[in-house]
Structure 1
């Protein structure tokens, strides 16, 4: 277990956060909560501690286990109740060597990172001719068998958007491209990183092999290297690459979720759940993805608890193994899906400011949406008419019909950093982090105390 600094945060909060709530205390207004949370220090302390004392937290590894131990101790020190880790097992893919170079016509090294679940080359790697496709659609249109013995390269450039909407479309190159290339006979595939930066660093990420697809080595090139390779191809000469991607797949490795609560006083009203994920990719320290999300929801729950007694229990889910396919969210649903969830929310899009709120509530809950929207408006957060969808850690609950609210963060720079070595603490803006905490604290307090039925029949 990692030693946690008890310092200022615990000294300020331990005596006043949770039970017993003062019986006669009147709940504070959303304005009071909002302004207090704008001065928050809990979220930064959480993110700084987790990324410094644990660092990268790949799913199913000893580092992720240390993160669970660290988090259990941290949440207990903040005064949360019912804090525990809930284990499960899962297969684990582990990165080895990631190397590539142009053999001909212009020899040079390329920067890349293997994608999750990539097959391994031998230690000597593979050398083959390159087959170029400007888009995923072009790869899909290639005749069956036409890539036999070749390395496919898909250069499909993603653009930055505030809401991150381009990730769904362009991310298909990573998620589906390897299986498509395999089925067409390729011995390996390289893609342009699914990102929006121009730094010489590659964006990793998970991909799953489709039924009938033989696993092949699969990797993402840094965006400058993808551009360089495209220029080399444009010279009109045949291009040969040497690629070495070594990896291992281990079965039945331990992972787990961390759960903590702020007890409410009306069990029949159900619980409000806030989720994030503890695991990260291995290249950085997972500061924006998703230590920030975990810091935000923990801090927001602290501020909601300090404001007075709550009708509903606030439950915190810090899921494991999200990056590799949402194992933690599914494990949570298996264990707790039958419990009375009134509402679910998730923070997993970095630490930049919340700018929009989306709702998916039962009919007859317009008054709650109006109250919360009004309380969030002073933070520069506008209500949208887009239905909330949640995130991967709460997806099974959302699919089961549980109401959901999305506090949408500004994603303009998120995919500059996402799944890269640059996902480090210095990328977190403390002022914007505090704005997130303020928005979340208001949302948790309002929904936990709402007299509306929410998801409870």
Structure 2
């Protein structure tokens, strides 16, 4: 047992170590502001109130819909009310797609109505019922390996089940079938394409998402089935009898019309180098199912709240903080690509960026993507975040997530924050993407991280490109 003297000495040593932070390389005044911002975000519900406002007053925001147009005006007014001193929109045009109605059933030998969703970009059946025999493939690779002509007049079905992972990497292994499966199946002679939804839930609703057709290949309907109905189809096929499936959809497919979209941008002007910007990103659009609370209402709530907290400071950071709510992410990063075109001449003044477009749990890791000389400063900031349970990744290959990757590919340095996404694909692209699914405790934590990051990068003198 330690004597009283040793206990006292140990206490003094521990106290000294606590009072001398491991992130001492950050300026003391900056740390004080970071602490204040972090405390505010951890004890405030602004981010949640923003998501509540968005999902209640706007709801689903699919490109080309009245909801998407309404979201642009909502975002501009919200930014102004939160204290951004510059708010504007930047418009461009995209091609419109319409979902239409859909009726699905296993026709024989065991008839069942089933639940599914037409994939974004798919053609329909023009209101006529298409019925054909189903051929199952366990994976997209198995479908690719099928002989040309072997699916003539049949429906291809990829039954691959997405795996649940904290970092969401199961999505990458499953989404290829959603994007490319229809054209691969059509090239083998198929008249339609079915896949198990790219999702980790067991609920009887389907996950939509964008798909693409290859040029010079027949366009066939592409449908995602709910997980339980994919199981039902698999079980039917295991009986050893031919299984036929019926699809009837109306007005689904490209409309050959263009529609105006808009990136909505808000800025907190820097006090010393206002022309240099730190960007925070999220996407404003959503699919037409659900209310877009998780995808990407969380990102909208986090980034707008971060800008709000920084806007309330008595002294703005040296550089400007720019929040970009990108348009048309769900149909191929259209808004982000347009942003890069419009800002190409000033891209060298985009000093750092980060986006939120994945996850519902706490951030557990951060990965930088900066020049070698800037790494020392990034490590100091990572040390500051370490007590929040955030590990530092030494990869240094971040380009920015989702839309922000378009800016990263043009040279903007970035940090990728990795949150727990274990339940994200339970709700992703479904009618169950609603406000009640938002993890409010994690939301506060993650808002604190993004706020601290934005202020740190904006108040720094570091050239993150070097």
| Of 242-251 and 360-369, the range deviating more from structure 2 | 242-251
1:263 matches 2:269? yes
Question: Deviation of residue 287 (structure 1)?
Answer: 0.2
Q: Equivalences for 1:281-292 in 2 at 5 Å?
A: 281-292=287-298
1:331 matches 2:338? yes
1:410 aligns to what? 420
2:81 aligns to what? 77
Q: Whole-Å Cα distance in 1 between the matches of residues 399 and 316 of structure 2? A: 29
Q: Whole-Å Cα distance in 2 between the matches of residues 33 and 367 of structure 1? A: 23
1:309 aligns to what? 316
Q: Whole-Å Cα distance in 2 between the matches of residues 164 and 350 of structure 1? A: 8
Deviations for 1:410-445, whole angstroms, at most 9, x for unmatched residues? 110000110011000000021111011000011011
- 8 A Cα contact 2:48 2:301, kept in partner: yes
- 8 A Cα contact 2:83 2:311, kept in partner: no
1:298 matches 2:304? yes
1:171 matches 2:181? no
- 8 A Cα contact 1:114 1:204, kept in partner: yes
Q: Whole-Å Cα distance in 2 between the matches of residues 108 and 445 of structure 1? A: 56
Q: Equivalences for 1:70-149 in 2 at 5 Å?
A: 70-149=74-153
Deviations for 1:13-38, whole angstroms, at most 9, x for unmatched residues? xxxxxxxxxxxxx6543222212210
Deviations for 1:90-141, whole angstroms, at most 9, x for unmatched residues? 1111111122111111011111000011111021220111111111111000
Instruction: Give secondary structure in 2 for the equivalent of 1:273.
Output: strand
1:397 matches 2:407? yes
1:159 aligns to what? 163
Instruction: Give secondary structure in 2 for the equivalent of 1:385.
Output: coil
Equivalent residue for 2:363, pick from 354, 364, 368: 354
- 8 A Cα contact 1:144 1:185, kept in partner: yes
- 8 A Cα contact 2:83 2:312, kept in partner: no
Q: Whole-Å Cα distance in 2 between the matches of residues 410 and 337 of structure 1? A: 34
Question: Deviation of residue 273 (structure 1)?
Answer: 0.4
Instruction: Give secondary structure in 2 for the equivalent of 1:294.
Output: helix
Q: Whole-Å Cα distance in 1 between the matches of residues 105 and 68 of structure 2? A: 33
- 8 A Cα contact 2:115 2:226, kept in partner: yes
- 8 A Cα contact 1:54 1:66, kept in partner: yes
Q: Whole-Å Cα distance in 2 between the matches of residues 263 and 424 of structure 1? A: 33
Question: Deviation of residue 239 (structure 1)?
Answer: 0.5
1:434 matches 2:411? no
Instruction: Give secondary structure in 2 for the equivalent of 1:220.
Output: strand
Which runs of no fewer than 5 residues in structure 2 stay unpaired? 1-28
Q: Whole-Å Cα distance in 2 between the matches of residues 302 and 77 of structure 1? A: 9
Q: Whole-Å Cα distance in 2 between the matches of residues 302 and 154 of structure 1? A: 46
Deviations for 1:322-347, whole angstroms, at most 9, x for unmatched residues? 00111010111111132111011111
| Of 421-430 and 343-352, the range deviating more from structure 2 | 343-352
- 8 A Cα contact 1:145 1:185, kept in partner: yes
Question: Deviation of residue 84 (structure 1)?
Answer: 1.3
Deviations for 1:26-53, whole angstroms, at most 9, x for unmatched residues? 6543222212210122111110000000
How many residue pairs get matched? 431
2:383 aligns to what? 374
Q: Whole-Å Cα distance in 2 between the matches of residues 318 and 417 of structure 1? A: 21
2:187 aligns to what? 183
- 8 A Cα contact 2:86 2:267, kept in partner: yes
Question: Deviation of residue 178 (structure 1)?
Answer: 1.2
Question: Deviation of residue 211 (structure 1)?
Answer: 2.5
Equivalent residue for 2:432, pick from 422, 429, 436: 422
Question: Deviation of residue 229 (structure 1)?
Answer: 0.5
Question: Deviation of residue 244 (structure 1)?
Answer: 1.5
Q: Which has the larger radius of gyration?
A: 2
Question: Deviation of residue 313 (structure 1)?
Answer: 0.5
Equivalent residue for 2:45, pick from 25, 37, 41: 41
Per the normalisation by structure 2, the TM-score is: 0.90
Per the normalisation by structure 1, the TM-score is: 0.92
Q: Whole-Å Cα distance in 1 between the matches of residues 316 and 153 of structure 2? A: 66
1:228 matches 2:221? no
Which runs of no fewer than 5 residues in structure 1 stay unpaired? 1-25
1:68 matches 2:72? yes
- 8 A Cα contact 1:61 1:254, kept in partner: no
Q: Whole-Å Cα distance in 1 between the matches of residues 60 and 410 of structure 2? A: 32
Question: Deviation of residue 305 (structure 1)?
Answer: 3.2
The CA RMSD over aligned residues, in Å, is 1.4
Instruction: Give secondary structure in 2 for the equivalent of 1:63.
Output: helix
